[in-house]
Structure 1
Amino acid sequence: MVASAQEGADAQSMRPSRPVSHTVEDLARLTGAQLVPAASGAAAAVTGVVLNSREVQPGDLYAALPGAQVHGARFAADAAAAGAVAVLTDPDGARALAAARVDLPVLVSTEPRCWVGPVAAAVYDSHPAAGAGQGLFAVTGTNGKTTTTYFITSILRALGHTTGLIGTIEILAGDTPVPSRLTTPEAPHVHSLLALMRERGITVTAMEVSSHALEFHRVDGVHYDVAGFTNLTQDHLDLHGSMAEYFAAKAQLFTRERTRRAVVVLSDEDPWSVAMARHARENLGVGNVSTVALRGSDSASCGDGAADWTLRSLTRKGIGTSFVLQHTDGRELRVHTGLPGEFNVANAALAVLMVLDSGVAVETLQRALDEHDPLTTSVPGRMQLVGTAPTSLVDFAHNPDALVRALRSVDPQDEHGRVIVVFGATGQRDTTKRPVMGRVAAEEADIVIITDDDPHAEDPAPIREQVAAGAREAVANGARATDVLVIEPRATAIRTAVRMARPEDSIIVAGRGHETAQDFNGVSVPLDDRVELRDALAALHSQTKEQK
């Protein structure tokens, strides 16, 4: 497995220029792993950590971990040829290395994945305490992680910080993108990025932390200043098996080992939020956890007394909302977001309170909110406005709860306006949510157009029909929708929605957001919902002008 030039360049671009050299003996003491010296007695300084043999640079420790199908030890010889100077693996991997006569020092641990993060933290010197200060924010939850991290960085820029962002859409060091084809950074990438950002003068970094990242130890060795919780709704049950296990994965973030403080959004509609607030208080201490209720009734649901903050005076302004955050001690923050929907109000409130809990004074924060309107920042593919007349948006909503929230947020104020939704379901993921999403669409939209998302290795036709079955059943039971259409390919479905729309209608294309290609059984087919929607609207408006 020889690295391509692009993969090597991507990996190198994510590294700091000044890693901290460690001997294998240093790393053996850190991990408690058994050190098996190289047969030749060779030893060299470790200056990097990788999980992928194609990313190896000279001086790297290669973590050869067991995989779902292939053990990483199989590629240790490739790693050695590329310049790796040591291997971290399990006993099975050590035996495979010995059999293959890979002559490198080997660190043998029964739980090697658990040590990749701490080793990377040491080598890349990524912990803020090791150098200049660097504030770290983490956001977890089913929906809203991306938008909340963008909101956090926008507020902090208004406060004068140079910010970093590690998320599903992009990785940013200030305004500069960090090239990467890695959609979910692994532990070595996380630590090298944090060190790289500090090296580039980044003072604060906000990061999305998914259940996958926690479950697979991708953020081990990282300690955050403030962690935020958005919500927990059905998703990723193909990985976790149950909502209780999904909750347990998220809850790992709210412990002393991972964060100093926490902010939790409370909602009557999300019973898991109460459980998360209780878990955070038990682990971090009551004084280190803030809660915010989306409405007055949510405050009582906390069970441990009133929520610390409550949303008041919600007023719609254009497609956005102005509101007041009120603390039980009487403090208030006036907030405005230009993004539509109550869920973006929740995201904005969470971002504001996370910044406040990082140590910013209320008066300073209020001045930044008033003077810069930072919560009207554009988030690619998240309730992104593409056109008007009809109001047309693209959103990443890809589970039932997110779809409900998105559809309700675009309901036209004009009594004659209709909601038209275009969406699908992903292949090789939680199949139980497919008919649920169909039902939700039929209950919240007037015209439902079901198409393909990313089928992956599944036949796309049955996926579409499973979604459609839920929509048709809902219509039979009196749901709002008057039409349920199944149309592929996706570009045709988007054009059909635009042709059906009237100026007073709203169109939302949901499920893929910022993504620019569909995966059909390993074949990447270029498609950007925003481009397709924009082109279809341009054609519609051109035709309308010609008719006039």
Structure 2
Amino acid sequence: MRTVSNRPSRQPKWSLEAVAEYLGADSELLHEQGTLVVAGVCQDSRQVRPGDIYAALPGTEHHGGEFVAEAAQRGAVAVVSDRPTEILPAFVVKNPRKILGPLAAWIYGDPSTSLDVYGVTGTNGKTSTTFMLEAGLAAAGLRTGIISGICVRGPDGVSEAERTTPEACTLQRTLSAFVDNRVDAVAMEASSHGLALHRVNGTFFRVAAFTNLSRDHLDFHKTMASYFDSKAQLFLPERCARAAISVDDQYGKALAERVTVPRLTFSSLGASADVTATDIEADQTGTSFVARHGSWERKIRLRLLGCHQVDNALAAIAALRIGGVDIAAALDGIENLDTVPGRLENVEIGQNFLAFVDYVHNAGAQLRLFPYLRSLSKGKIIVVIGATGGRDPGKREPLGRTAGSHADVVVVTDEGPYHDDATALRNDVAAGARLANHAEVLIIPNRSDAIRTAVCLAKAGDIVVVAGRGNDHVMNYDGTEIVFDDRQVLERALVKYAK
């Protein structure tokens, strides 16, 4: 598989003097270097190439200014930062994160203005919706790219994603490379972190889509109001031309009233909306529903599993319709999408029970998942669950309680504690599960052992769900990364222990 390049083939044309003028900085500090043509802009000192401007940004543990010498050794010609340095000419600005996206976009030729960019934000459903959008755009005859928490993929190949929304420099380089590869439309995730940290500054969206909002990431945002405000930034008229908004929760309703750009609302739960879904049916082979928008309607059969995929499909449909895409052709692509990695991914080797791996990692997502699972079988639901460290501690107990209310057996295990106390993480989730006073609760620290136990407990007609990590393939223990793919571990356990 070829790795996608996030460096455009066309070289930027701006000199350091022009960059100084753009930033309103003193060009005299450049001396004879002012005429140098900038090759790009990069905020990872390890990835700097000759001619790059190095963006030295403040971080949670380190400041990019600590790595200016390394950037200089790799060929950086200047620095943008909130700290001065004597190693390289420095453009010192008050908030480098805020200006970095527009600066990178300017250097790379404002690539988003040459693309139809569809952005998706929300607590749950971003990845699946983004994959549906990309499938629909491609089926409608457009040359596509995708930027998601799983991968970055374009006509020239695919790369593993480093984060849900790339850093500003990387995003603009990637979009510019898409332009070079004659991409027409891009589907991308816009996370609340990405919005709050200004990663999408400098990017203009043809359509911005909102899926839902429930408790998550409060370790970063602190309050739900702040979390919502970060999401709402995507829908400002200087950011997007059109919007597609779910009105199935209070935040979507508030957002729909707030936006000033043309928008379509959508609902799968019976709310008054422009685009709606009825006659929803989900089984273990797929999901069907009838979508309506005014006089238009269509019976849709998804190959993706779960009623929650109707929400994601409606988000894609509303975005594509308001974006002006041939919806009949696009829906053929959406219906043919057979999997989104780690999203209720079926692991099957011929066992007499169902086994899934799913990314579900908060109570809001669980409330959509478990009723669907219960509809598939009268057997037991056995869920393997944990809490990732370095996250909002207030979500652990609700995570456990919701699992304990809907599953029959809850196996609490590690999910990557980072620098947190792994025992405390497990105990918090288990305490929540026990509050439900419904499920049998087991604590098994080793994740492989926990998955093996779930498989060994399963009988004919039961359902095993390994939850929380989806397609992730590393777990972090106090800074040490351990290779671990739930799908592979579950498959090995099924081969060895399944009845």
* TM interval, short-chain normalised: over 0.9
Q: Is the 8 A contact 2:267 2:314 kept in 1?
A: no
Q: Is the 8 A contact 2:209 2:319 kept in 1?
A: yes
Q: Is the 8 A contact 2:289 2:300 kept in 1?
A: yes
Q: Is the 8 A contact 1:265 1:293 kept in 2?
A: yes
Q: Is the 8 A contact 2:290 2:299 kept in 1?
A: yes
CA-CA distance at 1:333 after TM superposition:
3.0
Are 1:25 and 2:6 matched, yes or no? no
Q: Is the 8 A contact 1:412 1:504 kept in 2?
A: no
Q: Does the C-alpha gap of structure 1 residues 113 and 105 become closer, same or farther in structure 2, counting only changes over 3 Å?
A: same
Q: Residues 418-452 of structure 1: CA distance to partner in whole angstroms, max 9, x if unpaired?
A: 11100100112100111111110110101111001
Q: 1:240 aligns with which of 221, 228, 231?
A: 221
Within 5 Å, give how 1:214-253 maps onto structure 2: 214-253=195-234
Q: 1:56 aligns with which of 40, 45, 48?
A: 48
Structure 1 residue aligned with 2:399: 437
Partners of 1:411 and 1:35 in 2: how far apart? 66
Are 1:524 and 2:481 matched, yes or no? yes
CA-CA distance at 1:30 after TM superposition:
2.3
Within 5 Å, give how 1:170-181 maps onto structure 2: 170-174=151-155, 176-178=157-159, 181=162
Size of the alignment, in residue pairs?
496
Q: Residues 268-300 of structure 1: CA distance to partner in whole angstroms, max 9, x if unpaired?
A: xx21111111122xx32xxx110012132x22x
Q: 1:279 aligns with which of 258, 261, 264?
A: 258
Amino acid at match of 2:484: L
CA-CA distance at 1:536 after TM superposition:
1.4
Structure 1 residue aligned with 2:441: 484
Q: Is the 8 A contact 1:36 1:105 kept in 2?
A: no
Within 5 Å, give how 1:355-370 maps onto structure 2: 355-361=320-326, 365-369=327-331
CA-CA distance at 1:540 after TM superposition:
3.3
Amino acid at match of 1:82: R
Look up the SS of the partner of 1:68 in the other structure: coil
Partners of 1:372 and 1:111 in 2: how far apart? 42
Look up the SS of the partner of 1:228 in the other structure: strand
Moved more, 198-207 or 501-510: 198-207
Q: Is the 8 A contact 1:58 1:83 kept in 2?
A: yes
Q: Does the C-alpha gap of structure 1 residues 437 and 180 become closer, same or farther in structure 2, counting only changes over 3 Å?
A: closer
Structure 1 residue aligned with 2:80: 88
Q: Does the C-alpha gap of structure 1 residues 407 and 34 become closer, same or farther in structure 2, counting only changes over 3 Å?
A: farther
CA-CA distance at 1:146 after TM superposition:
0.4
CA-CA distance at 1:175 after TM superposition:
7.4
Q: Residues 85-104 of structure 1: CA distance to partner in whole angstroms, max 9, x if unpaired?
A: 121122xx12xx1xxx32x3
Q: 1:427 aligns with which of 361, 374, 389?
A: 389
CA-CA distance at 1:109 after TM superposition:
1.7
Structure 2 residue aligned with 1:303: none
Within 5 Å, give how 1:8-407 maps onto structure 2: 13-35=5-27, 37-38=29-30, 43-90=35-82, 93-94=83-84, 97=85, 101-102=86-87, 104-129=88-113, 133-174=114-155, 176-178=157-159, 181=162, 184-267=165-248, 270-280=249-259, 283-284=260-261, 288-296=262-270, 298-299=271-272, 307-316=273-282, 318-327=284-293, 329-361=294-326, 365-369=327-331, 371-372=332-333, 374=335, 376-387=337-348, 389-407=352-370
Q: Is the 8 A contact 2:282 2:372 kept in 1?
A: no
Partners of 1:80 and 1:406 in 2: how far apart? 50
CA-CA distance at 1:265 after TM superposition:
1.0
Q: Is the 8 A contact 2:359 2:470 kept in 1?
A: yes
Look up the SS of the partner of 1:448 in the other structure: strand
Q: Is the 8 A contact 1:19 1:125 kept in 2?
A: no
Identity of aligned residues (%): 40
* Structure 1 residue ranges (4+ consecutive) displaced by more than 6 angstroms after TM superposition: none
CA-CA distance at 1:352 after TM superposition:
1.6
Q: Does the C-alpha gap of structure 1 residues 227 and 372 become closer, same or farther in structure 2, counting only changes over 3 Å?
A: closer
CA-CA distance at 1:317 after TM superposition:
5.0
CA-CA distance at 1:181 after TM superposition:
4.8
Aligned-CA RMSD value: 2.1
Look up the SS of the partner of 1:226 in the other structure: strand
Q: Normalized against structure 2, the TM-score is what? A: 0.94
Q: Residues 225-278 of structure 1: CA distance to partner in whole angstroms, max 9, x if unpaired?
A: 0110000000000000100000000000001111110001111xx211111111
Gaps spanning 5+ residues in structure 2: where?
none
Structure 2 residue aligned with 1:6: none
Partners of 1:73 and 1:48 in 2: how far apart? 18
Partners of 2:146 and 2:164 in 1: how far apart? 13
Q: Residues 457-492 of structure 1: CA distance to partner in whole angstroms, max 9, x if unpaired?
A: 1121111011111111221xxx3x2x1111120011
Partners of 1:87 and 1:207 in 2: how far apart? 29
Amino acid at match of 2:95: E
CA-CA distance at 1:404 after TM superposition:
2.4
CA-CA distance at 1:383 after TM superposition:
0.8
Amino acid at match of 1:383: L
- Which structure would you say has the larger Rg? 1
Q: Does the C-alpha gap of structure 1 residues 357 and 437 become closer, same or farther in structure 2, counting only changes over 3 Å?
A: same
CA-CA distance at 1:168 after TM superposition:
0.9
Q: Normalized against structure 1, the TM-score is what? A: 0.86
